[in-house]
A and B are shown apart, each in its own frame.
Chain A
Amino acid sequence: MSDIRNHKCPGCGSPLRFEPETQMLVCDACGSHFDTGTVSEYDDATDGIDGEDESSWESYGGTPWSDGDVRVHICPSCGAEIVTEPTTAVTKCPYCDNVTVIEGSISGALRPDCVIPFRVSAEDAKRLMSEYCRKKPLLPRRFVEELHLEETQGLYIPFWLFDCSAEGRATYLAEKVRHWSDRNYNYTETTRYRVFRRGGMAFSKIPADGSRKADDTMMESIEPFDYSDLTEFGTGYLSGFVADKYDVSADESKVRADARVKRSIDAALLATVIGYSSVIPTGSSVKIRDGKVQYAMLPVWLLHYNYRGKRYTYAINGQTGRVVGKLPVSPGRAAAWFGGIYAAAAALIAAVLFLL
């Protein structure tokens, strides 16, 4: 007579049966045997692991601008609201290059908590952009000749910086494979394990841009910023530069931060599953706690260029100098390189095959 218990097999998920003779839990589906303590510990550890991830962030209050702090310029073309200090004139929209910019009144915008000041000067930005173009063999020659580097604009882009701690749980199906031989046969032993890991880590200032006009992929590509330069915001940092006003709220941006935290936790837990020939993740969940948000202005040089009817945008990290953007490809140059490499490789291979 055997008892039916409400435990599931860690291997296949089928119900387990308690076998009084062996005092173990038995899976009739896959034939596995487990001691009751191990199964109870596994059930406790993985309870709810296939449910929704959880994240808990404080709602961002922020500080409004004081009257007279800044001026707002609105681009009638793309809708960008550009913030400057009162003495800075805006002659062109930094996002779309529209030259008609009208003044407006500041509303609903929050004063940034912190800022990373520009370290890369306008001259440095032009030089870095030239260097970025220099080592590209497929770049059309005319593109470099006609590039108007002087139109590079320094812009403080609004970013939300997320601090949090996160705890993750994950399960895996892992295998150890061992080979050996005797006189007559080759043997392969495959041992399967159900693996569980739980761990936590803290994150500091995960950035997510708060501007719809700034391309998210491009803004992530110019990361990372060195936060040792992060300082309390003052309007003096806007002198000679312009700043964008956020139009993506912290609540909307945290979805991107959550996704990055989850991937990082998953990767960190997976790195602890060692000693196996193969490991397949089968489930995971992440709980994000103590989430705090800061509103920051981060420095970026932007350059727009229309080449053969297509618009190209380049971003340069105003602190580290990293240049990001897609360059046009010259079909003629690509064909010439293909032909040249083809001819050289064909000559070499023919020499090896037919002459040596």
Chain B
Amino acid sequence: MKLKFILPFAVLLSALLMLLPTSAYDSSLPRVVDKTRTLSEYEIGVLNDMSEDFRREYSMDCVIMLISSLGGKSAMAYADDAYDEGGYGMGSDNSGILILISVGDREVYISTCGKAIEKIDDYEIELILDDMMGSLSKSEWADAFSHGIFAAGEMIERQNSGGGSVSRDDSSSTGNRLLITFLAPAVIAGISVGVMYYMMNNARGKYSAADYAVRGSFALTGALDIFLSRHVSKTPRASESSGGGGGSSHTSSGGVSHGGGGRSF
């Protein structure tokens, strides 16, 4: 009797658990990977804390990787493979980011996966890299990583709060904004006063006699449409990258979809 009572609840609970996304998060994996052994313990501790905060705040994994050389791979392939093969990610889609700095190649790359592809678009990746460049140029790796994690968090925060992606105009230089502030009003004022000036004279000649056409008198008495030629041109389609509102994506060697971007420093 007691078992009969518990069984339906057990089945329901199992069904609900099956509906929940499978969490792939493995907390035993190191989130700060320093293959160059240049980061101090204190720096590793701080970066670990930042990674943990990132995971809790945004439900996405955050991995940082400092290496000496890409070993002949591209930064994108190295970062994507490191993320996939390292077993990183949260949820069924392995959401998360990996920030890779190759000291020897002087390259930085941010790989996104799962929801991070939607939350951080290509332009925002560039903004995160912009934030890191100051520290990278001074070889301050820990500082560069902390800038990167913080900036990535800001981008996701903005998306989550409904603010949308950072537009290019938002981040345009102050000079451009000042130029717009001074020039656009001049155009608006010029057009407005131009319209007022136009209204000062309504004496304009009539070019047509349409007002005096006898209503219904028009009759089309002849019509010929002769085919002359047909020409078909074709241009190759631009290679497609999946967008869908987030960043563009590609497929890693492991068959996992990744986004991201990088640059030399």
User: Interface majority SS on B: helix, strand, loop or mixed?
Assistant: mixed
The answer to whether B206 touches A325 (Cβ under 8 A) is no
Q: Which residues of A192-229 have CB atoms within 8 Å of chain B's CB atoms?
A: 192-207, 215-218, 220-221, 223-224
The answer to whether B229 touches A32 (Cβ under 8 A) is yes
The answer to whether A10 touches B200 (Cβ under 8 A) is no
Q: Which residues of A167-212 have CB atoms within 8 Å of chain B's CB atoms?
A: 167, 169, 174, 181, 183-207
Known: A184-B236, A263-B209, A334-B197. A218 touches B231 (CB 8 A): no
Q: Quick one: which of A185, A261, A325, A345 contacts B202, CB cutoff 8 A?
A: A325
Q: Which residues of A sit under 8 angstroms from B201, Cβ to Cβ?
A: 325-327
Binds A, one of B59-67, B179-187, B245-253: B179-187
Q: Which residues of B sit under 8 angstroms from A190, Cβ to Cβ?
A: 230-233
Q: Which residues of B sit under 8 angstroms from A353, Cβ to Cβ?
A: 169, 177, 180-181
The answer to whether A203 touches B213 (Cβ under 8 A) is yes
Q: How far is the CB of A339 from chain B (nearest CB, A)?
A: 8
The answer to whether A191 touches B234 (Cβ under 8 A) is no
The answer to whether B189 touches A345 (Cβ under 8 A) is yes
Q: Quick one: which of B204, B218, B232 contacts A268, CB cutoff 8 A?
A: B218
Known: A32-B229, A215-B203. A184 touches B193 (CB 8 A): no
Binds A, one of B41-49, B125-133, B142-150, B219-227: B219-227
Q: Which residues of A sit under 8 angstroms from B197, Cβ to Cβ?
A: 138, 329, 334
The answer to whether B221 touches A337 (Cβ under 8 A) is no
Known: A42-B226, A326-B201, A341-B193. A201 touches B219 (CB 8 A): yes
Q: How long is the Cα–Cα vector from A349 to B235 in the complex, in angstroms?
A: 41
> What is the size category of the interface that chain B forms with chain A?
35 or more
Q: How long is the Cα–Cα vector from A81 to B180 in the complex, in angstroms?
A: 60
Q: How long is the Cα–Cα vector from A138 to B197 in the complex, in angstroms?
A: 7
The answer to whether B230 touches A324 (Cβ under 8 A) is no
Known: A32-B228, A197-B222, A349-B185. A260 touches B203 (CB 8 A): no
Q: Which residues of B sit under 8 angstroms from A200, Cβ to Cβ?
A: 217-219, 221
The answer to whether B188 touches A264 (Cβ under 8 A) is no
Q: How far is the CB of A161 from chain B (nearest CB, A)?
A: 9
Q: How long is the Cα–Cα vector from A145 to B42 in the complex, in angstroms?
A: 84
Q: How far is the CB of B42 from chain A (nearest CB, A)?
A: 39
The answer to whether B206 touches A220 (Cβ under 8 A) is yes
Q: Which residues of A sit under 8 angstroms from B184, Cβ to Cβ?
A: 345, 349
The answer to whether B228 touches A10 (Cβ under 8 A) is yes
Q: How long is the Cα–Cα vector from A180 to B229 in the complex, in angstroms?
A: 19
> Does A41 touch B at the CB level, under 8 Å?
yes
The answer to whether A204 touches B206 (Cβ under 8 A) is no
Q: Which residues of B sit under 8 angstroms from A223, Cβ to Cβ?
A: 206, 211
> Does B207 touch A at the CB level, under 8 Å?
yes
> Does A87 touch B at the CB level, under 8 Å?
no
Q: How long is the Cα–Cα vector from A267 to B207 in the complex, in angstroms?
A: 11
Q: Which residues of B sit under 8 angstroms from A224, Cβ to Cβ?
A: 211-212
Q: Which residues of A sit under 8 angstroms from B213, Cβ to Cβ?
A: 201-203, 264, 268
- For B201, give the chain A residue with the smallest CB separation: A326
Q: Which residues of A sit under 8 angstroms from B228, Cβ to Cβ?
A: 10-11, 30, 32, 192-194
Q: How far is the CB of B226 from chain A (nearest CB, A)?
A: 5
> Does A5 touch B at the CB level, under 8 Å?
no
Q: How far is the CB of B207 from chain A (nearest CB, A)?
A: 5
Q: Which residues of B sit under 8 angstroms from A261, Cβ to Cβ?
A: 209
Known: A137-B196, A203-B213, A349-B181. A272 touches B220 (CB 8 A): yes
Q: Quick one: which of B205, B220, B231, B232 contacts A217, CB cutoff 8 A?
A: B205
Q: Which residues of A sit under 8 angstroms from B214, Cβ to Cβ?
A: 201-204
Q: Which residues of A238-276 have CB atoms within 8 Å of chain B's CB atoms?
A: 257, 259-261, 263-264, 267-269, 272
The answer to whether B217 touches A201 (Cβ under 8 A) is yes
Q: How long is the Cα–Cα vector from A326 to B201 in the complex, in angstroms?
A: 4
Q: How far is the CB of B240 from chain A (nearest CB, A)?
A: 10
6 additional A-B pairs beyond A188-B232, A193-B228, beta carbons within 8 Å, are A167-B221, A192-B227, A198-B223, A217-B204, A260-B208, A341-B188
Report which B residues bind A (CB closer than 8 A).
169, 177, 180-182, 184-186, 188-190, 192-193, 196-197, 199-214, 217-237
- Shortest beta-carbon contacts, A-B, top 5: A198-B222, A345-B185, A260-B209, A326-B201, A11-B228
Report which A residues bind B (CB closer than 8 A).
10-11, 30-32, 34, 38, 41-42, 45, 135-139, 165, 167, 169, 174, 181, 183-207, 215-218, 220-221, 223-224, 257, 259-261, 263-264, 267-269, 272, 323-329, 334, 337-339, 341-346, 349-350, 353-354
